Structure 1
Amino acid sequence: MLGRASPPFPKMQRLAFLVSRRPSYLLGRFAIVRDVYSRLNWLKDAVGGGAPLRIGDLYHPADAAIDVASSGHVLSGKTAAQQIAEMRAESYSMGPRLGAAAIAELQHCARTLPLHFNDADVGTYEALSQSPERRGNLAIATIRNSASLPMIRALASDRILYEAASLFLGYRPTEVSSWFFWSLANHLSDDERRAASQTIDYHYDVNGFNFLYVNFYLLDTDAMNGAHALIAGSSRRKRLRHLLGSARLSDAEVRETYGPAAERVIEGPAGAGFLEDTSCYHKALAPVSADRLMLQFRYQ
C-alpha cells in the first residue's frame, strides 16, 4: 500500500549488493567519504607526484595524454579560489567563459561532424536539420570522438580549468571526460526523453568518489531551449533517505525539501560557463523553442 515503509531486510540486502559490486555508487554519495578520498589522493600526489592528465569521450576510456597549458580561449574574472568558495556554498559557480574563436570553431564542428545516439550513427546536425522526421525522434545527439578535436583538448587541458579542478578535488585530476552534444527541440514527450536517458528529472550524480563538471553553453541558452537547473547547496545537504535510496527526486519533493528559493535556472549567452559539483540535485530543462548545444568536461 502507498505510504507504508519498505521492509528493512530487502533494503539492507540491496545496500550490501551495491557495496560489493560497485562500492563508489553507494559510498560516493556521502560527503565525508569524498573528503577522505580527496585527502588520500592529496597524500599520493605529495609522495609520488601527480599522473599525467588523460582525456576521452564520456563513458569511454581516457587514453590520450594531454599537457596542461594556457589555451588562450578560456577567460575568467574570478580566481580559482573564489570559484571553489562559491561552489562549496552553492554547489556551482558562474564563469569562466569561452572566447569568440573557440565558440565559432566548436559551433562549426557541432554542425558538420558525425553525431551518434547510444553509439548509433545519426548523421550530421546539418543533415538532421533537413529531415524533420529523423530529428523529431531524437532527444540528444552527441558529436562523435569529441575528445580527439584539437580545440576540445586545448580547453580540457587549459590551466584555468585544471587549477579549479585541482583545488576543488583536493588533488591533481588524472582524467577528464568530454561530452559535446545537442539537446534537440521537438515534440517528444517527457517519457520519451526519459527513455532516451535525457536527465529532465532532478537527480544527483555518483560518478566515482570525486568529480567536478565544467559546463559551457555554445548557443544562447535560456529556460525555453534547455537551460540547466540545479538546487543550490544540495551537494552536501541531503536527507538520509535520499542518500540511501534513489538518486532522483520529483520537482515537488525537491521543492518541499529545499524550498523554491534554492532552485537556480542557469541562463547565459554562447560561451557562458559554470563549474558544478553534480553531487547536487540538477536536471536539464527540455528544449522547447530551439536546440541547445553544450560542452561538458568531467574531471576526476
Structure 2
Amino acid sequence: MREHSKKLSILLNTIHRRVFRIGPMFVLARFRSCRVSYSYLQRVRQSADRRRHQTPQSMFQPLSESFFEAIDADRSVEELRKDGISLHFDLPPALVNEIYNLACSLPLQNSVRSRPFFKSEVTEGGRLPDGQLVSLGTAYKSRKLQLLNHECVSRVVNDPVLLKVVSGYLGYWPKRLSDLELYWSYATGLSVEEQMRQGNAIDYHFDLHGYNFVMAAFYITDTDRTSGAHVMFKNSHKKKTLPMLFSYSQPADVLRRQYGSENETIIEGKAGTGFVMDNSTYHRATTPESADRLLLRLVYT
C-alpha cells in the first residue's frame, strides 16, 4: 500500500510539473481525445474560412506533380490510423542525390558543439580534426526552416500526395512545420549514454510536436539495422497506460508486453526510402555501426 502511494505521488508530481512548468500542450497532446478534439476544431475553423472565401492560413503550396503518384492516399491514411505508420513514400534517385549533395555542402552543428563543421571534416568514427567525437550533425540547427530555400527540400515538403495524406490523417489542412531536419548520424562507437547526451534518440520514446502532428521521414543513404534504421511499435499511438503517458521513454520489454513483440518494426531500405508516421508511437533509432546515416525529417502540424 505504501509503495503504491509512493508511485502515485511521483506520478502526480510529474503531471503538476509538466502542466505548470512546461505548458499545457505537453500534457494535453498526450491524450488522443485531445488530439481528436483539436482536429475537429481546426476542421470547423477552416470550413468557416472557406465559406467566407478566405484561404486557411498555411505555409504549404502543393505542387502540380508528385513523387508519390503510386501511393493510394486514402489507404495510407487508414494505415496511419490503424498502425501509426504508412510505408513506400520513396524518393527518386536524382532527388536523393540532390539532397545528399546539399547535406555535404551545408555547415553542421550539434548540441555539444557550437562551432559549425562540414561533413568532409568528419573522419571515420565521427572524429573531427580537433579530436572531438560527434554522433550527430544537423544542417541549419538553429534556423531549420532555411532548408525550404533549397528546392530539393521544398519540393518534398509541398508534394501534393504527401500533403493529401498528411491532411487526411490530421483531419485538416496542415498549418506549418513544427520541425524540419536534415541530419547525419555518425557511426562513432560512443557509449549509449554519450550518444543520448549528444541528442541521438536511441531509446524508445514518443514525441509531442503540438496539439496534433504527423511526421514524414526519408533515408538519404542506404540504411539498415546496423546503420541507424528507424524502429517503432505499431499501434503504440493508442492504448498507452497513464504512467506511460507521463513518461518520456519506456524499456523495450515493457513495450513488447503492452503491444506485442510482433509489432516491433525495423524500417530498412535503400537511399530514398520514405515513410509517414504518427510520432506519438514509441520509436527509436538504432545505433549506426557500419555506416553513417543521413535523414530528412518533416513534422506537419
TM-score, with structure 2 as normaliser = 0.88
| Displacement over 6 Å in runs of 4+ | none
CA distance in 2 between counterparts of 1:251 and 1:131 reads: 27
* Residue from 225, 232, 235 that aligns with 2:237: 235
Secondary structure, aligned partner of 2:182: strand
Q: Does 1:248 align with 2:249?
A: yes
Identify which range, 134-143 or 264-273, moves more after superposition: 134-143
Q: Residues 174, 132 of structure 1: CA spacing in aligned structure 2 closer, same or farther, 3 A cutoff? A: closer
Name 1:112's counterpart in structure 2. Answer: 105
Secondary structure, aligned partner of 1:133: coil
Partners of 2:126 and 2:187 within 8 A in 1: no
5 Å-filtered alignment, 1:72-91, equals 72=66, 74-91=67-84
5 Å-filtered alignment, 1:175-186, equals 175-176=176-177, 177-186=179-188
CA distance in 2 between counterparts of 1:51 and 1:120 reads: 38
Deviations 1:168-214 (A, max 9, x none): 00011110231100010011110101111211000111222100100
Post-superposition shift, 1:52? Answer: 4.0
Q: CA RMSD in A?
A: 2.1
Identify which range, 199-208 or 249-258, moves more after superposition: 249-258
Where does structure 1 lack aligned partners over 5 or more consecutive residues?
55-65
Secondary structure, aligned partner of 2:6: coil
Partners of 1:136 and 1:187 within 8 A in 2: no
CA distance in 2 between counterparts of 1:105 and 1:71 reads: 18
Name 1:62's counterpart in structure 2. Answer: none
Q: Does 1:139 align with 2:139?
A: no
* Residue from 219, 222, 230 that aligns with 2:221: 219
Post-superposition shift, 1:11? Answer: 3.4
* Residue from 22, 37, 53 that aligns with 2:58: 53
CA distance in 2 between counterparts of 1:99 and 1:71 reads: 13
CA distance in 1 between counterparts of 2:61 and 2:37 reads: 28
Where does structure 2 lack aligned partners over 5 or more consecutive residues?
141-145
Name 2:123's counterpart in structure 1. Answer: 129
CA distance in 2 between counterparts of 1:180 and 1:148 reads: 13
Identify which range, 98-107 or 227-236, moves more after superposition: 98-107
Q: Residues 5, 187 of structure 1: CA spacing in aligned structure 2 closer, same or farther, 3 A cutoff? A: farther
Name 2:25's counterpart in structure 1. Answer: 24
Identify which range, 219-228 or 107-116, moves more after superposition: 107-116
CA distance in 1 between counterparts of 2:77 and 2:186 reads: 32
CA distance in 1 between counterparts of 2:29 and 2:231 reads: 22
Partners of 1:226 and 1:286 within 8 A in 2: yes
Pairs aligned (count):
286
Q: Percent identity among equivalent residues? A: 28
Q: Residues 289, 76 of structure 1: CA spacing in aligned structure 2 closer, same or farther, 3 A cutoff? A: farther
Post-superposition shift, 1:114? Answer: 1.1
Amino acid at match of 2:61: D
